Structure 1
């Protein structure tokens, strides 16, 4: 019997397991999923926990509830992948031989990569919200925050959900106004990018909103160190930003196991063909979701749009056929802007976010690159789409391929 081995039971791993177990003949194939954690986290919800919009328990459920019964779920850490031998060694010593491998091990924060970040202020007046524990700890800190300088800081790109830091600073503006202390607080957004976002049209729109909300942007801030004793962050060009409360996005990196296996780049992401999602080095390995080094956003919607490509190409590879399916880098992101409103951006590898309507060109009902209450409801509605459709293997009624139709092409 042949084996399809999937490393990671997060969003990407769960979705591909559900799809492939229904595509492969169970008389010839077995599907094994390996993950070190029992709990599945709805990571977009981490953003809402610090502001009391979601309770912590709303974003966590058992992984086994979403994996098909005819998939073998192995709860273990991965020690090493040995691609030349087509096998994986687990931390407990078990060896799993595979015919095809899908790496969906995601990405995580690596605060140790920034000097001083894990010093005396960590989880005291320095917090992240890209982890469950960090978001919960930050919610307590924000309740006790009574004004001063709140700095939202990004260490380095790429990161999971590139718009999340912007959403945080927008929500902080709203939250502090709700508490009546916005006039006692200076909000600073420190980014290694030259502006609010990587794409010019969206960067201009979002940057204008930051200005209107009185949020100071410190662009091209490449952090050198955190001086927790002096409560400031320092860049390589010797700029210093003092803080009373620092909310940081540490360096994001792929799984350490990828490094141990010699399969990753400098950030432990798997070098992957950005169109076929096949490993650059091994024809029987595919990488998807946050584990791949492709130049697409590391976000749940992107995984959904990748799925069709991975399934089609994986089946073609199994049958020894050429890979014809191509992922175009399609991503949609809701950008919370506070006060029950949100932006919506829709883009691909080749086309930046543009104004228009989504999902029906010219009709909508959602508006691109403009604040609306409907976009905010769409952001909240994704929670139910995630748990009740995506994680159950039910197709989401949204086109996987990016379309320029209905968008303002003059700005492209």
Structure 2
């Protein structure tokens, strides 16, 4: 198992219970011993969470009977079934699972790591970035706050919207919202990737007087002028820039010849099996499946993978097929939130979740329950998901409780 993050930890906990220790060795490789609750990074800048609420030692979450190796990965030699580490060690395998996630790469955008980095240009997709922004944000009480997405795909595609909503709420509580111009800059043509959700979320941005700059493909950050510049030479000035840099998979994936141009492993979107090597799988954010790079996708896909893997090693066909199921809480500020639930083929729809009528969570509707659900998920993450305990939610998306608006296509492809 390459990567001991969300997907990797869930898999080894589930498989260690199912695979006899006398017959199976399981090894996890990761660069460090720090496990982070990444959805919590959103809350650090606003003081909702403290730093100690989003981190634990990785080894405390790995089960007995699993070897943990702390090292950087040099490359995978797939033809020889071997992982080479940067310290010179070689780890042979019968089956390999790549779950090394995706990482913000500000170095890929000219000027982003210039003299304004962590001074007036910040990210919150890293622990260090979120903490730096937490120190800088309280001093910001007037000017232009720009929330910017470099390029898709990114981890948790709703998080930039959440930051904009929370910033609006936070500034209003401080009584300085009328002194701050909030701008949301996206490479998309709308606020989100799916039409129905985009309509809802776009209306929320408009209601909060957050200006949207769509179709913005950044070429560089101009540190002298404190602006971001697009390839078509549009220029957006800022006093404080909160940016989501280009997200890329691990560099060793490229060195191993296993990835695309963004270092994501090419897999079958149903089985998560490598399209090039039958004994290699990629889970979570590390794969190129056309689904959100979100913790819920990791969770639901792991459920499918584990059942398939047990069939595979038993000499049987893999019968499970992951459908791209994702659900995400969307913080909207003022103690409320939304919930969206969708998959490869069906876009987010209004309704109730997880049960029809009863809910208790509303889909595409701002409620206090959704906000509380988002906060409660931190406990679920540490105590249920990572230990691989069952969660009473179906891995595949259900249409139960969802309501399709009249005369509106529900397929995710309807945007095209």
Q: If the length of structure 2 is used for normalisation, what is the TM-score?
A: 0.97
Cross-structure match for 1:207: 202
Q: 291-300 or 308-317, which moves further after superposition? A: 308-317
Give distance in 1, aligned partners of 2:310 and 2:95.
10
DSSP 3-state at the match of 1:27: coil
Give per-residue Cα distances to partners, 1:40-93, cap 9 Å, x unaligned. Answer: 000000000000000011101000010001100011111110000000011111
- State how far apart, in whole Å, the 1-side matches of 2:83 and 2:359 are: 46
Contact 1:224/1:236, CA 8 A, preserved across alignment: yes
1:252 aligns with 2:247: yes
Question: Which residue of 1 is the match for residue 178 of structure 2?
Answer: 183
Structure 1: which 5+ residue stretches go unaligned?
Answer: 1-5
Contact 1:108 1:255 in 2 (8 A): yes
CA contact (8 A) 1:101 1:285 kept: yes
1 CA distance for matches of 2:401 and 2:385?
26
* 1:343-389, Cα deviation, whole Å (9 max, x unpaired): 11000100000000001022211110010000000000100100111
Q: Are 1:149 and 1:243, in contact at CA under 8 Å, matched by a contact in 2?
A: yes
How far residue 320 of structure 1 moved from its aligned partner, in angstroms, is 3.1
User: Where does residue 63 of structure 2 map in the other structure?
Assistant: 68
* Contact 2:73–2:85 (8 Å) recurs in 1: yes
**Segments of 4+ in structure 1 off by > 6 A?**
none
Q: Where do 5+ consecutive residues of structure 2 fail to align?
A: 411-416
Query: How far apart in 2 are the matches of 1:373 and 1:19?
Result: 33
Q: What does residue 8 of structure 2 align with?
A: 13
Q: Answer whether contact 1:11 1:391 (CA < 8 A) is retained.
A: yes
The match for 1:406 is 401
3-state SS, counterpart of residue 340 of structure 2: strand
1:174 CA drift (Å): 0.6
Specify which of 296, 299, 313 is matched with residue 294 of structure 2. Answer: 299
2:84 corresponds in structure 1 to 89
1:375-412 CA deviation, whole Å, 9 max, x = no partner? 00000010010011111221112111101122113442
Shift of 1:154: 0.1
Q: Secondary structure at the match of 1:167?
A: helix
Give how far 1:22 is off: 1.2
Equivalent residue for 2:368, pick from 351, 368, 373:
373
Could you say what secondary structure the match of 2:25 adopts? strand
User: What is the match of residue 353 of structure 2?
Assistant: 358
Q: Residue in 2 aligned with 1:153? A: 148
- Give the counterpart of 2:97 among 96, 102, 114: 102
The answer to whether the aligner puts 1:39 opposite 2:34 as a matched pair is yes
User: In the alignment, which residue of structure 2 is the partner of 1:385?
Assistant: 380
Contact 1:19 1:393 in 2 (8 A): yes
Whether the 8 Å contact between 2:354 and 2:401 is mirrored in structure 1 is no
Given candidates 218, 222, 239, the residue that maps to 1:223 is: 218
CA RMSD of aligned residues (A): 0.8
- 1:53 corresponds to which residue? 48
Contact 2:74 2:85 in 1 (8 A): yes
Tell me which moved more, 386-395 or 312-321.
312-321
Over residues 117-172 of structure 1, what are the superposed CA-to-partner deviations in whole Å (9 max), with x where a residue is unaligned?
01111000000000000000001110111210000000000000000000000000
- Tell me how many residue pairs correspond in the alignment: 407
CA contact (8 A) 1:151 1:245 kept: yes
Partner secondary structure for residue 334 of structure 1: strand
Conservation of the 8 A alpha-carbon contact between 2:304 and 2:395: no
In the other structure, the counterpart of 1:3 is none
Which residue is equivalent to 2:237? Answer: 242
Is the contact made by 1:284 and 1:317 (CA closer than 8 Å) also made in structure 2? no
